[in-house]
Amino acid sequence: MKSVEKVGKTKEEALQEALQELNVTADKVNIEVVEETSKGILGFLGSKVYRVKVTVKEDVGQKAGLFLREMLVNMGITAQVEIFRRKDNVILNINGKDLGILIGKHGQTLDAMQYLINLAVNKDKEYKERIIIDIEGYRRRREETLRRLAIKIAEKVRRERRKEVLEPMSPHERRIIHSTLQDYKDVFTYSEGVDPYRHVIISPQDNE
């Protein structure tokens, strides 16, 4: 990671010189005050001088994208990886032909790849950034499908006054079901079981 040290009459002055040399903004760097001293004749009537070390932060999105591309090459799959940065996460979207093998049943293979990449890029980091892997919008389509399913089953439960047990889902998919029905009248949801067989149950409100 690239870094420079600069001296200034204030920390802000030293920082601005460093940012200018690195050609980055303050949110892209880590800042460390290396030294704070006074200088002047015999050390009297002197002014403080600040030395700061500024280091460019690691681009987690680029690192994750490179890791994913290497993974695809090792799997013998030809595809392109797009990187989208959002406030709370980084999305890696895979584009190509015949990529169903990367999704797996209900996204299980995709989830496993996502887990490995998050593990790799966040190793030994105090602040862990969330990396989401998608394939041509699969996750958005899957979320829409789950929301429709949740409402359909909730209507059945409300009508028949009998609970319904959904198939096992990942923690992310279970959260989609719970959030979709959290304000739904006459039913409530909860999870049972142990991963990877943990599932959501939709039950009539009077069974709570």
pLDDT per position as a tens digit, 72-127: 999 899 899 999 888 788 999 999 888 888 998 888 899 999 999 999 888 877 77
CA distance 93 to 134: 5
For residue 38, name the pLDDT band (cuts at 50, 70, 90).
low
Beta-carbon contacts of 81 under 8 Å, excluding residues fewer than 6 positions away, are: 65, 68, 69, 72, 92, 93, 94, 95
Mean pLDDT for the stretch of residues 23-32:
78
Where is mean pLDDT largest: 30-34, 38-42, 57-61, 190-194? 190-194
The pLDDT score that the predictor gives to residue 25 is 80
The pLDDT score that the predictor gives to residue 69 is 93
The pLDDT score that the predictor gives to residue 157 is 95
The pLDDT score that the predictor gives to residue 123 is 82
Domains annotated for the chain, with CATH where assigned, are: 3-56 (no CATH), 60-136 (3.30.300.20), 141-207 (3.30.1370.50)
For residue 48, name the pLDDT band (cuts at 50, 70, 90).
confident
What's the pTM value of the predicted model, to 2 decimals?
A: 0.66
Tell me the pLDDT of the chain averaged across its residues. 85
For residue 51, name the pLDDT band (cuts at 50, 70, 90).
confident
Q: What single-letter DSSP state applies at residue 200?
A: E
